Amino acid sequence: MRKKPTSLPETKGTPLYRRIRQILESARTNVARSVNTTQVVANWLIGREIVEEEQRGSRKAEYGQRLIAELSEKLQQDYGAGYSATNLKLFRQFFLAYPGLRSREIGHTLRDQSSLSNVNNFPVAVPLKSGIGHTLCDQSWQPGLLHPNLSWSLYRHLVRVESLEARSFYEIEAVKNNWSARELERQINSLLYERLALSKDKKGLMRLATKGQAIQRPADVFKDPVVMEFLGLPESPKLVESGLEQALINNLQAFLLELGKGFAFVSRQERITLDGDHFYIDLVFYHTILKCFVLIDLKVGKLTHQNLGQLQLYVNYYDRERRTQGDNPTLGLILCTDKNDAVVHYTLGPDQAKKIFASRYKLYLPTEGELQAELRRELRLLKREFDDQS
């Protein structure tokens, strides 16, 4: 009698299955990354060809317009709508914004390569570690050089940032936080760099542009204003705090993106009871970098000193009753539609001002002029605080 073959054991979840799955997932990631990098390189090379052709021809704007129009017509016939005049201008802008995208170790060898067949030889400044499944070794990379995690969809937004310092910052943060093109666009449009740069000195601004956002103290975390256009709520005096809170919970992922790195949601409407009196904290977060609780209170009107006193109560309670070994002092943030900076300054005093913060929020994406006005107002307050301490 023929012996039945032994049935194979359940393979899913076994070490063999996990190793093979890791190989396949890594291969899929590397293929996608390779395609993205190849597209970026091709677009950069096209931009370079256009710029060099313009430099050899007339310097008049009419020549460049005619060159791009004729080139676009021919390319679209052969390669489709992706080579419209608008895109060719963007490729040209890409090359001009990133003239040093190639690796500096190669020198000028790429300058001698005029054919797109050399795309695969384009040097990537971020080498892969040996072995499948390892992460990128970022030590050799710096803003302005090619990074395989920066796809063309990201560069499309980056080239529109005029300030070199701001553009470098967004490159770093896009790589560190794995931002999608939509997330990057949103952060650029909301002037994230300018808002974070508000309280920085010259050395701080340089670190921001070369290292990205470094969180070392509470003041590094909070922005003013906080932009919450993603809620889709109209500016209305009928807006109530419960409606604002519910909208934030419904859009928690977008809210966390605006708050910045390190925030983890803990609870909403957390009740604390003091001798029979109940109080409710709107939102509770934990900051994984600063290692502390962050309590957020929502106000739909102008901030008052009573609001600040209430948040002080919550912060003091958390420090005494909820803080555990290893936690740093609790922080508080009031989000309000308007505030009197002098009231905040004199209500909190120098010690509490290091733990409790007040920020205006915007329910729409402000214009650059409006945001700049907000920043100038905050700078005046910072100058006043500095003068008081001198």
Closest by alpha carbon to 310, among 288, 336, 285, 341? 336
Residue 6 is predicted with a pLDDT of 52
| 181 and 150 Cβ atoms separated by less than 8 Å | no
At 248, give phi and psi (nearest 5°).
Answer: -65, -40
Structure tokens, 46? 């096209």
Cα dihedral 245/249/254/256 (nearest 10): 90
CA distances from 341 to 106, 224, 259, 347, 353 (A): 53, 12, 21, 10, 12
State residue 226 phi and psi, 5-degree precision: -95, 125
pLDDT for the residue numbered 130: 30
Q: Which pLDDT does position 372 carry in this prediction?
A: 72
b or e along 362-390 (b: 16 or more beta carbons within 10 Å of the residue's beta carbon)?
bbeebeeeebeebbeebeebeeeeeeeee
Nearby residues of 313 by Cβ (< 8 Å), 6 or more positions away? 279
pLDDT string in tens for the chain (390-residue length): 555 555 545 555 567 567 657 766 776 766 666 778 888 888 898 888 888 888 776 556 666 678 888 888 888 888 888 889 899 899 999 999 998 886 433 333 344 433 444 444 454 443 333 332 233 345 678 888 888 889 999 999 999 999 899 999 999 999 988 899 999 999 998 888 888 877 666 677 777 777 888 787 888 888 888 989 888 887 776 778 888 899 999 999 999 999 988 999 999 999 999 988 999 999 999 999 999 999 999 998 888 889 999 999 999 999 999 999 999 999 999 999 888 888 888 888 778 888 999 988 888 877 777 777 776 776 666 666 556 655
Angle at alpha carbon of residue 230, lines to 332 and 255, rounded to 5°: 30
- CATH fold, domain 215-389, is Trna Endonuclease; Chain: A, domain 1 (3.40.1350)
Distance CA 191, CA 206 (A): 17
pLDDT value at residue 148: 84
Going from N- to C-terminal start, the domains of the chain cover 36-102, 158-214, 215-389
pTM confidence score: 0.70
Cα-based distances in Å from 281 to 6, 84, 154, 257, 314 = 61, 53, 38, 21, 7
